[in-house]
Structure 1
Amino acid sequence: MITGYNTDVRHGNRIFHVQTEDKGVANPKIETLIYVGGEILDSYRGTYEDLLAEFPLQEGVIQARMDDQHKSVIRDIKNGKYDTTPNDPLLAERSVFNDKPLDQAILEYLQQEGDTDTLEMVLDEPMLPKFGELFQVRIRARLCVSQNPVPGADVTIRLISSLKKATTLTTGRTDAEGQFTTKVELPPSQPGHCALLIACASEFGNDEIRALITA
């Protein structure tokens, strides 16, 4: 099984998380999942069964096919494939509740124009959560241009899964230095794809970071 890809794509007023992974030669599929707000918006599955006749099987060829599929999905997002609300009522409801409020969309637009100092979260070290462990979360909230800390920002840590609804693990606020530190208990290994989603919100805007939970 080959290491997959995880990319956050900001488009319009939403952040799409694109995750692509190899299911292994026993199930020669390449699966790409698209998340918005911790819920699966869409999925795409390719195959490399045609490559199994080659021996020895070259991992580089599979990796290239994964890369192409991952980039293709990201290109679809940026080209506006998911700009309109889906016809499926359930997906439409998810879209409504996952869209950021108008004031946040305006802040992000102004940030892109270079006129507004908005909130961003920073990690001092990579997040590597593992199933069945007590995991320490340490983030800093600051303004992206001035780099000033953002005290009193609301922080929510959720467990998101491809097989069930997201659950909130803990909430809190950043301290006077814009820092937030806590520990969360992660569940034992379970089917599907799981990740930690850390969201931070203040009058200066919102930001989020997610990390896949591994065995």
Structure 2
Amino acid sequence: MITGYNTDVRHGNRVFHVQTEDKGLANPKIETLIYVGGEILDSYRGTYEDLMAEHPVPEGAIQARMDDQHKAVIRDIKNGKYDVTPADPSLAEQSVFNDRPLDQAILEYLQQEGDTDTLELVLDEPMVPKFGEPFQVRIRARLCVSQAPVAGAEVTVRLMSSLKKAGSLAAGRTDAEGAFSVQVDLPPSQPGHLALQVSCASEFGNDEVRALITA
């Protein structure tokens, strides 16, 4: 198990305590808890199951994911995500899971500090994938500051599972307008939690979006 992070973040008139820890190789998850006044306000759970295929598992890669996840949550706090907190805990968890992630956290932090124009993924409507049904993936890649489309960015659509390695569903590149669309077939309901992950990479950075697959 790798040493975690603890950070106090002052935003508005509140102090948020952000705690990130590795749950260990027997449970390859990274958990970030957000506290206010000693009570848990929200949580985020990432995974590094895809790294388990490597022997030994690279600790440096796990540490990098912890660092990215921790900084991404701090970024969300500073951006006002928790200025209004969902009353329903399940809605809060769903919101966290669908956030633009984690691989772009450091670049986004730099963007906030120095107006670095980095890639971001945009959804025209929320992703609501369902078990056993075809799903049309539609995303747009653009730059954060200038809003210019990013053409030719590599896009990968994967099926994420809490019980097994991620599987690839589709891949391609964004068009001249930064758009990408593909239909994927989703599996029937199965044990564990499944999510659809859309990742995008270009010379301007990386970004991804995720959505839980529901019945």
For structure 2, the residue ranges without an aligned partner over 5 or more in a row are 1-21, 33-38, 47-55, 69-103
Instruction: Name the CA shift for 1:208/1:100 in 2 (closer, same or farther; >3 Å).
Output: farther
Are the counterparts in 2 of residues 41 and 91 from structure 1 also a CA contact under 8 Å? Answer: no
In structure 2, what is the Cα distance between the partners aligned to 1:133 and 1:163? 21
Instruction: Name the CA shift for 1:70/1:99 in 2 (closer, same or farther; >3 Å).
Output: closer
Cα deviations by residue, 1:135-154 (Å, 9 ceiling, x for unpaired): 00000000011111000000
Aligned residue for 2:154? 154
In structure 1, what is the Cα distance between the partners aligned to 2:67 and 2:31? 22
Cα deviations by residue, 1:87-121 (Å, 9 ceiling, x for unpaired): xx6473751685899xx776444212133111000
In structure 1, what is the Cα distance between the partners aligned to 2:126 and 2:169? 20
Letter in 2 for 1:207: D
Give 1:172 deviation, angstroms.
0.4
Give the root-mean-square deviation of aligned CA atoms. Answer: 3.7
After superposition, residues 1-215 of structure 1 pair within 5 angstroms as: 40-42=28-30, 69=40, 71=42, 73=43, 90=57, 92=59, 95=62, 107-215=107-215
In structure 1, what is the Cα distance between the partners aligned to 2:106 and 2:193? 33
In structure 2, what is the Cα distance between the partners aligned to 1:124 and 1:109? 24
Are the counterparts in 2 of residues 199 and 208 from structure 1 also a CA contact under 8 Å? Answer: yes
For structure 1, the residue ranges without an aligned partner over 5 or more in a row are 1-33, 45-67, 78-88
Aligned residue for 2:19? none
Instruction: Name the CA shift for 1:164/1:92 in 2 (closer, same or farther; >3 Å).
Output: same
Moved over 3 A (4+): 96-101, 104-109
Instruction: Name the CA shift for 1:110/1:93 in 2 (closer, same or farther; >3 Å).
Output: closer
Aligned residue for 2:36? none
In structure 1, what is the Cα distance between the partners aligned to 2:212 and 2:206? 21
Letter in 2 for 1:211: A
Question: TM-score, normalised on structure 1?
Answer: 0.57
Instruction: Name the CA shift for 1:112/1:43 in 2 (closer, same or farther; >3 Å).
Output: closer
**Higher Cα Rg: structure 1 or 2?**
1
SS of the residue 2:59 aligns to: helix
Would you say how many aligned residue pairs link Structure 1 and Structure 2?
A: 144
> In percent, how many aligned pairs have the same letter?
65
Question: TM-score, normalised on structure 2?
Answer: 0.57
